[in-house]
Structure 1
Amino acid sequence: MVGDVHARVVSLLADRPPRAGRVKVLAIEGRSGSGKSTLATAVAAELAAPVVRMDDLYAGWDGLLDGVDALVRWILDPLRRGEEARWQRYDWHLGQYAEWHRVPETDTLVVEGTGAGARETAPYLSALVWLDAPDEVRRERALARDGDVYAPHWDRWARHEDAFYSDHDVRARADLLIPGA
């Protein structure tokens, strides 16, 4: 089953043209704990592609939209112009942006996380994948992954996701929906 999902995503991307300059950008979207990171890691390994994680771009627990802006300004727009793309990692412990990272030269880039499929990113994306999972499964996964750090912020982040998905309707614009846990 997992292999089938990876194959479907890779196949979807194979038929799409690059839209960020010469780079195909695959956005993997869904709510917290839906499996985005796991799928992105597997697909990126299969494609030998780098992964940019939105968690590194958000400006803290209230910085979802800042992360979308950073993705476009630092990565997607420079790629479209044929320039070097780089991003600054947000240090969640210090509460500020830290060191810069260069996006390696590549034909394919995987971007995963809430916000990767924002309306602002759509002109740059070759494909958009949406992952669904039941709320209880998502919460269990997220808290198992991030534990005590995330637990006090679960409801706060969920409200940001609610507002974002209401405005951006990412699921309806996805090229591929992956249901289930």
Structure 2
Amino acid sequence: MTDRPRMRLHAGEVEAADWHVEELSNVLRRLREAAPDVTGRPLLVAVDGRGGAGKSTLVQRLCEFVPASGVVHTDDIAWNHACFDWGQLLTEHVLKPLHRGEAVEFRPRAWTDHDRPGTIRVPAGTDVVWIEGTGVIRTELAPWLDASIWVQGDLDEQERRLAARDGDSAAQRQHIAAWLAEELPFLLREQPWRKATIVVAGTIDLPHDPDTEIVTAARVIRY
């Protein structure tokens, strides 16, 4: 185990501890063990974390490790709909069909209303479906998810990443402020860092092989 300096986190978020390097094969084993009775359908794993924490990067690595993966981004469910009030849409049009072992082909109404092309698609025969997005580890969705990952990161680094990705214009700062006005109370209420099967470091860079390993926490500090 490796002791690290504490991250700067939003008020109320508890910090994980005992960061260490873990093989992706062992991470996948632990996720499967969280739902040992899954048969005839994919394992459904939530990947949650704040903006800039590294969720999408982690999912990309997991997909490379598990080639028969599907991915659903909750941003696509939420697009022109609501920041966090999308749980029912996700459940009815994605999670329930996947539980029945069916493929998913879902075009949200907001996509049609705003002329966005395409659909949210998960083909049949996938081994694992990663449901990625801020707010996906929530009580409302717990019956439909088999396991979960919380990606914890230092706020300073997350803010730097967001600025590099999305810019730092006045409009972008206003967007972030409006988002945080909903995100902060939502996550404080749900406390996904306490519910997650595994906590992954999004901003701690211990030496490891990114193709086969990630940095995880042995425990969450409860105080």
TM norm structure 1: 0.82
Identify which of 57, 66, 88 aligns with 2:85.
66
| Alignment partner, residue 31 of structure 2 | 13
Cα distance change of structure 1 residues 35 and 121 upon mapping to structure 2, 3 Å threshold: same
Cα distance change of structure 1 residues 126 and 143 upon mapping to structure 2, 3 Å threshold: same
C-alpha deviation, 1:18, in angstroms: 5.8
Mapped contact 2:150–2:193 kept (Cα < 8 A): yes
Q: Give the gaps of 5 or more residues in structure 2.
A: 1-18, 204-223
Identify which of 44, 60, 77 aligns with 1:57.
77
C-alpha deviation, 1:153, in angstroms: 0.9
Please identify, of 50-59 and 36-45, the stretch whose mean Cα deviation from structure 2 is larger: 50-59
1:25 aligns with 2:47: no
Identify which of 133, 136, 139 aligns with 1:116.
136
Separation of aligned partners in 2, 1:141 and 1:159: 20
Aligned residue type for 1:142:
L
C-alpha deviation, 1:98, in angstroms: 4.7
| Alignment partner, residue 166 of structure 1 | 188
Aligned length: 178
Greater helix percent: which structure? 1
- Compute the RMSD of aligned alpha carbons: 2.9
* SS state at 2:51 partner: coil
| Alignment partner, residue 106 of structure 2 | 87
Mapped contact 1:59–1:97 kept (Cα < 8 A): no
C-alpha deviation, 1:84, in angstroms: 3.2
Identify which of 156, 163, 166 aligns with 2:178.
156
C-alpha deviation, 1:58, in angstroms: 0.9
Mapped contact 2:104–2:121 kept (Cα < 8 A): yes
* SS state at 1:57 partner: helix
Separation of aligned partners in 2, 1:14 and 1:165: 25
Aligned residue type for 2:60:
T
Please identify, of 81-90 and 40-49, the stretch whose mean Cα deviation from structure 2 is larger: 81-90
C-alpha deviation, 1:140, in angstroms: 1.2
Q: Which has the higher contact order (CA 8 A, sep 6+)?
A: 2
| Alignment partner, residue 155 of structure 2 | 135
